[in-house]
Amino acid sequence: MQQTQALTAVAALDEPTRRRLYEYVVRRPEPVSRDDVAAALGVPRATVAFHLDRLVEEQLLVVGHERRTGRSGPGAGRPAKLYRRSDRQVSVSLPERQYELAGRLLAASVEEADATGGSAREILARRAREQGAELATVGQDIVSTLEENGFEPRHGDGEVSLANCPFHRLAQAHPRLMCEMNLGLVEGMLAGVGEPGWRARLDPRPGSCCVRLAAD
């Protein structure tokens, strides 16, 4: 779902006028109004309003209201809509990659190991299982859960193989560490969906994720 939403947001910027408006807004140090944008870019105000509100719908911009005259009360006029960049970060990769997730897990594990003196590798595996459980939905089948999280599961011959590794480049450079993290994530997803009958195991093969699910 996150990848689908990101693709929709990126597609919204494919329209040339909308992209110009977005680039103008995000380069301004202060929030801007529809009139500001229309005057700066020479675009009709109605067109500006349509495109800015579409960018708000995609969570690329956020809108606030402010009386720019500084006055309040009767006669002060209606507050103007002011637009600025949102805090949302949009990242799209095909095949899907989850390097930000890996970074969060690794950073949290190193910090915990530094604070407790524990094994960073063991902490990472535990945190990956916890994260996997959080990503799962109780009652949803494991194949759908893996699909939503970018693993591209393939069901057949009594097992589920994972055609995509969301941490591909990291796994190439640090195979043991990333495979253990992947295993923890998938084990956590299995626990989170509460679906019996499957067991996650490491089974590295060329061109696929190192984790496979076998019938228990």
pLDDT, tens digit (0-9, with 9 covering 90-100), for 22-54: 999 999 999 999 999 999 999 999 999 999 999
161 falls in which pLDDT band (50, 70, 90)? very high
pLDDT number for residue 10: 86
- Res 77 pLDDT > 70: no
pLDDT digits (tens, 9 = 90+) for 169-198: 999 999 999 999 999 999 999 999 998 889
Q: For residue 211, which amino acid is it?
A: V
- Res 209 pLDDT > 60: yes
Q: Of 12 and 5, which is predicted with more confidence?
A: 12
Q: For residue 18, which amino acid is it?
A: R
- Res 156 pLDDT > 70: yes
pLDDT number for residue 69: 56
| Residue 212 near residue 162, CB atoms below 8 Å | yes
Share of the chain above pLDDT 70, in %: 94
Q: pTM of the full predicted structure?
A: 0.72
Task: Give the pLDDT mean for 136-155.
Answer: 92
CATH architecture, domain 2-85: Orthogonal Bundle (1.10)
| Residue 210 near residue 177, CB atoms below 8 Å | no
SS3 per-residue string spanning 88-113 = CCCCCCCCCCCHHHHHHHHHHHHHHH
Q: Of 166 and 7, which is predicted with more confidence?
A: 166
pLDDT digits (tens, 9 = 90+) for 104-125: 999 999 999 999 999 999 999 9
**What residues does each domain of the chain span?**
2-85, 99-215
Q: How is residue 174 written in tokens?
A: 């640090």
Q: How many Cα neighbours within 13 Å face the side chain of 14?
A: 6
- Res 1 pLDDT > 50: no
How far, CA to CA in Å, does 37 sit from each of 6, 31, 49, 58, 128? 25, 11, 9, 19, 45
Q: Please state, in angstroms and rounded to a whole number, the distance separating the CA atoms of residues 176 and 168.
A: 12
Q: Which residues are CB-neighbours of 189 under 8 A, at least 6 positions away? A: 132, 133, 135, 136, 142, 145, 146, 149
As a whole number, the mean pLDDT across the chain is 90
pLDDT number for residue 70: 55
Q: For residue 94, which amino acid is it?
A: L
